[in-house]
Structure 1
Amino acid sequence: MSNSGTAAKQRGTLKRSLGLWAIVGLGLGYMTPTVVFDTFGMVGRDTNNVVPLAYLVALVVMVFTAISYGKMSGAIPSAGSAYTYVRESMHPNAGFMVGWTSLIDYMLLPMVNCLIIRSYLEAFFPSVPGWIWVVVYCVAVTTIIYITMRGTSNANMILLVFSILVMAVFVVMVWVQLSGGAGVGGVVSMQPFLHDGVTMGAVLTGATIVCFSFIGFDAVTMYAEEAKTPKIMPKAILYTVLLGGGIFLVAGYFTQLRFPDWNEFAPGGDMQYIEDSTLPLIGEAVGGDWLKAVLTAAGFAATLASGLASHASVSRMLLVMGRNNVLPKKVFGYINPKTHTPTFNIVLTGAICLLAIAFTLEMIAAFINYGALIAFTFVNLSVIAWFAIRQGRRKTPKDIFHYIVLPTIGTLMTGVLWVNLHLDALIGGVIWTVLGFIYLVFLTKGFRKKVAGFDEIQPVTGFNKIPEEVGEELR
């Protein structure tokens, strides 16, 4: 078979078989609903115990951004991302910069999963040094991805359903305890949203942190070419945000009622449990050892699935960047002929993940939010650039509202969260962005040539030269 025939055959394997709710389920799986318990302590501390309010503010911001994602996925109905939309609507160089900034998300997400897993295991085995769990996790996940990069969408759905069922059991148990006088002593209260000492600045800081919980709703855009019809993508994106936000709000509301003071998670002033996952502590306080085990198992399963997916995604993106000469091709574009995987990229990602030994969940989440909020901001701006400017759809009140007013509100709201990021994350993010700009100047030889694109789901230049079984494995 000719090279072109092989490439066509490979492209033909993307079938339009995913319905609306299948895509929504995949999106919720990326968001990992149990993360609301992982970050509850730190958000409660930073917001003065109004975690649900922080989620509500973040949800409003994410809804406007989801609307913009929906518009762009309809206009550019190929598997894509923020970088793709910016590249097509604004300029390839602007798209490159958004993609480069988003690399922070990709490179650090595996580390977040590692940090959460470490916290879970430390809760059950406090005598074992945390760094040991980091090493074990990194070696195990890197080995699995080294051998195979096949997707696990069916397993993802099973883990999602399991997690939500466990969370539902948790809510019921908390409801019973509240009715019996625990926590605030009732199931209906405004205290999780409003009480003395709450400030808007603190709420925005908390909203910036929990924005991390929503990361993943935009990932459903990668299924655009596998949806039964591209028309369902805007709904899929919006439903993912609304359902995910609803789960976070309900879980956060009942958890806040049950634990009205974040100091319950810092015995003796020990802030370790605040900076890392508070999920095991929440489970133990509500249901003893058995709920601690079950809730941790739900979080562990969902986090491990997310860790495998994010590790593979990073490796795939680095492969694309290598094959398209964005990074040195001989190194990053290499595929092991025995395992049919980009082994260097996989090992590199695992090595970066080892840095979880020295970081806290709070700090890594802040760095990830930097890249995510930049991407969200530019997706909103892409709507204006694509529809209002390129297509001239700014002459009627309806067009002005849909393609200028709504994305402008989304941009401003996202910007408010962006400026409330942790100072260290802002400094580190700006340095990373500056390095990206310098690298862009180098790649384009002073902007005299086009820059190659990169995206984890983007076709790789020269991909038809890769044996068919390797192409199948990478998908």
Structure 2
Amino acid sequence: MNTWRIKPLDAILATAEKKSLHRSLGAFQLTMLGIGAIIGTGIFVLTAAAAQKAGPGMMLSFIVAGFVCAVAALCYSELASMVPVSGSAYTYTYAVMGELLAWMVGWALILEYAVAASAVCVGWSGYIMGLIEHATGFALPELLSNGPAWSMNGYMPVADFSHGIVNLPAIIVAGLVTWLLVMGTSESAMVNAILVVIKVTALTAFIVLSLPLLKGENFTPLMPTGLFGHDGLGVIGAAASIFFAYVGFDAVSTAAEETKNPQRNVPIGLIGSLAICTIFYLLVAAGVIGTVGAQPLRDAAGVVLSPDSAAFAAHCKELAAAGNAPIVCSREALAEVLRINGFAQVGNLVGLAASIALPSVILMMIYGQTRIFFVMARDGLLPEKLADVHPKWKTPWKVTIFTGIFVAIAAAFFPVGQLADISNSGTLFAFFMVAIAVLVLRKTDPNRRRPFKTPLIWIVAPLAIAGTLGLYLNLPLVAKLVLPIWGAIGLVIYFGYSRSHSHVGKGLIEVHEDDSDVPPSSVPPIS
């Protein structure tokens, strides 16, 4: 049996062409689509962690992460336009490089979607509890509103439960969203549009109120942890974490089949939305740094602390008790900056905006994860029973509940920054494989119809490969270790179950006409 079983691209494309999508999107619509998809969780949640890793240098981190996203997106767009069916990077890899690598990409996408959902649950927990405390004075005990802090003892992760045992609000929101998905609740385009307006309005209000208060001295030293720091610190380390704030740009890539003149409009939509979001992020970062300062916390020896470490949590607790905790300690940084600067009510409204918008992001990420599981299960690589549909609610209840439990457990016991880093490791691997797949297909099938062709492919794709690899290598040690360990578990499952149950391995080539018009990634904003 061939180890590198390839799902025939011609069969996929033949089915897709039967349901070709109406081309109606122009450059402006694509740019707006990208902005709505990108601006989201990352900027609300990860600002404090990025400041602890890079200080004011996090502004440079946003630029680095945005550039890597841009070159990866251009590669992604070519395959998205060629293979306009569900399955995202998993489907692309299956059609180009074969089943084993496709399995590894699909397995890594679990880190992207499910773990990212957990990160958003933790981010929501910080904002909702901050909002409740400032509105009513009620605060959950610290042990029930924080998961444990994690540190490395050699190559072994060690949990410190002294500042938190379990993040109860994160479990609750994960459970509620899972229940809604099982019941069949979905969002309309109108609701999504309203939530995008809420997010953008909140960030705009923050920028307008904070920029007039900037103080130049708060920007020095610009790079207190250097360009490359240890264990995920430094400007590049922060960029590896901030990458989470940009994911969602693939919404533009997957719309290539619906775009008028994709060769012109897709790059404009991608680069335009990424450029506008980068400017937005830079202004928000400047507002945080310039108004309250963003120098990282250090221990008694002057060593910068990791934002997810027990030592960092202990130091923040001491400073909070004294009433002078810096913004790097905040779980709701943007709202807290406004409160510190005398805009308490607006700060509460920003917290409310995050609390309203983030559950919808969790919903779409858990939905997206079930979509990836579906595609893998129908290819025989996962048990097809996972895709059973509930007789009453007509939803894939088994895989949804399974995903929800996974999301809730991760959200309960890990901090948001660590979850975002772990999620990034899976995302970076998927985009790394997509960039390679584009080059492979240019060599092996140069005459294939490409509605969108990546410009300067032999420059852009290697930049994407180097950029995604470089960011991965600058993630904290825990996040770097998770990917190979998770991959090893995946290989055991593949050779123990999936390989022998594969439909392609059995000679069954299914292309599923019922969803040939579904975009390659049905997941809206996850950033």
- Find the counterpart in structure 1 of residue 470 from structure 2: 416
Q: Counterparts of 2:433 and 2:480 in 1: how far apart (Å)? A: 17
1:387-426 CA-to-partner distances (Å, cap 9, x unmatched) read 2453289xxxxx9982222211221122111111111112
Letter in 1 for 2:34: G
1:305-334 CA-to-partner distances (Å, cap 9, x unmatched) read 21121122222332333333222222x121
- Find the counterpart in structure 1 of residue 11 from structure 2: none
Pair 1:379-2:451 in alignment: no
Instruction: Supply the RMSD in Å over aligned alpha carbons.
Output: 3.5
Letter in 2 for 1:101: A
Q: Counterparts of 1:451 and 1:293 in 2: how far apart (Å)? A: 56
CA shift, 1:353, in A, is: 2.4
Q: Counterparts of 1:306 and 1:20 in 2: how far apart (Å)? A: 25
Question: Is this contact kept in 1: 2:81–2:254, CA < 8 A?
Answer: no
Any idea what SS the aligned residue of 1:306 has?
A: helix
Letter in 2 for 1:141: V
The unaligned stretches of length 5 or more in structure 2 are: 1-14, 134-138, 146-166, 298-314, 516-522
1:95-130 CA-to-partner distances (Å, cap 9, x unmatched) read 221122112112212212211111012213452242
Any idea what SS the aligned residue of 2:393 has?
A: coil
| Cα gap change, 1:222 to 1:375, in 2 (>3 Å) | same
Question: Is this contact kept in 1: 2:380–2:503, CA < 8 A?
Answer: no
Identity percentage of aligned residues: 22
- Find the counterpart in structure 2 of residue 252 from structure 1: 285
The farther-off stretch of 245-254 and 316-325 is 316-325
Letter in 1 for 2:354: G
Q: Counterparts of 2:197 and 2:104 in 1: how far apart (Å)? A: 37
- Find the counterpart in structure 1 of residue 152 from structure 2: none
| Cα gap change, 1:205 to 1:39, in 2 (>3 Å) | same
- Aligned mate of 1:261, from 274, 294, 299: 294
Pair 1:153-2:207 in alignment: no
Pair 1:363-2:391 in alignment: no
Q: Counterparts of 1:319 and 1:192 in 2: how far apart (Å)? A: 50
Q: Counterparts of 1:242 and 1:266 in 2: how far apart (Å)? A: 34
Q: Counterparts of 1:363 and 1:34 in 2: how far apart (Å)? A: 15
Pair 1:295-2:350 in alignment: yes
1:434-469 CA-to-partner distances (Å, cap 9, x unmatched) read 1222323335647998369xxxxxx985969xxxxx
Pair 1:439-2:489 in alignment: no
The unaligned stretches of length 5 or more in structure 1 are: 1-7, 394-398, 453-458, 465-473
Pair 1:96-2:107 in alignment: no
Letter in 2 for 1:98: V
Q: Counterparts of 1:226 and 1:79 in 2: how far apart (Å)? A: 15
- Aligned mate of 1:172, from 184, 192, 208: 208
CA shift, 1:15, in A, is: 5.2
Letter in 2 for 1:242: A
Q: Counterparts of 1:367 and 1:105 in 2: how far apart (Å)? A: 8
Letter in 1 for 2:90: Y
Question: Is this contact kept in 2: 1:380–1:410, CA < 8 A?
Answer: yes
- Find the counterpart in structure 2 of residue 109 from structure 1: 116
- Find the counterpart in structure 1 of residue 310 from structure 2: none
| Cα gap change, 1:442 to 1:199, in 2 (>3 Å) | same
Any idea what SS the aligned residue of 1:339 has?
A: coil
The farther-off stretch of 439-448 and 204-213 is 439-448
Question: Is this contact kept in 2: 1:27–1:216, CA < 8 A?
Answer: yes
| Cα gap change, 1:166 to 1:192, in 2 (>3 Å) | farther
The farther-off stretch of 367-376 and 342-351 is 342-351
Q: Counterparts of 1:418 and 1:373 in 2: how far apart (Å)? A: 7
1:188-224 CA-to-partner distances (Å, cap 9, x unmatched) read x9x3793566333311111101011111112333434
| Cα gap change, 1:311 to 1:229, in 2 (>3 Å) | farther
Counting only pairs closer than 5 Å after superposition, residues 263-342 of structure 1 correspond to structure 2 as 266=316, 268-269=318-319, 274=329, 276-330=331-385, 332-342=386-396
TM-score by length of 2: 0.74
| Cα gap change, 1:347 to 1:158, in 2 (>3 Å) | same
Q: How many residues align?
A: 438
Question: Is this contact kept in 2: 1:59–1:245, CA < 8 A?
Answer: yes
| Cα gap change, 1:197 to 1:346, in 2 (>3 Å) | closer
Question: Is this contact kept in 2: 1:336–1:342, CA < 8 A?
Answer: yes
Question: Is this contact kept in 2: 1:51–1:192, CA < 8 A?
Answer: no
Q: Counterparts of 1:57 and 1:415 in 2: how far apart (Å)? A: 13
- Find the counterpart in structure 1 of residue 222 from structure 2: 194
Letter in 2 for 1:429: L
Q: Counterparts of 1:252 and 1:33 in 2: how far apart (Å)? A: 14
Q: Counterparts of 1:308 and 1:401 in 2: how far apart (Å)? A: 35
- Find the counterpart in structure 1 of residue 68 from structure 2: 61
Q: Write 1 or 2 for the structure with the bigger share of helix.
A: 1
Letter in 1 for 2:389: I
Letter in 2 for 1:55: F
| Cα gap change, 1:241 to 1:86, in 2 (>3 Å) | farther
- Aligned mate of 1:346, from 400, 403, 414: 400
Question: Is this contact kept in 1: 2:77–2:256, CA < 8 A?
Answer: no
CA shift, 1:338, in A, is: 0.9
Question: Is this contact kept in 1: 2:112–2:427, CA < 8 A?
Answer: yes
Q: Counterparts of 2:503 and 2:406 in 1: how far apart (Å)? A: 32
CA shift, 1:227, in A, is: 4.1
Question: Is this contact kept in 1: 2:425–2:479, CA < 8 A?
Answer: yes
1:262-291 CA-to-partner distances (Å, cap 9, x unmatched) read 469947346997384423322322343212
Any idea what SS the aligned residue of 1:198 has?
A: coil
Q: Counterparts of 1:31 and 1:192 in 2: how far apart (Å)? A: 29
Q: Counterparts of 1:297 and 1:48 in 2: how far apart (Å)? A: 27
TM-score by length of 1: 0.81
Q: Counterparts of 2:22 and 2:190 in 1: how far apart (Å)? A: 16
Pair 1:119-2:119 in alignment: no
Question: Is this contact kept in 2: 1:53–1:192, CA < 8 A?
Answer: no
Q: Counterparts of 1:304 and 1:262 in 2: how far apart (Å)? A: 31
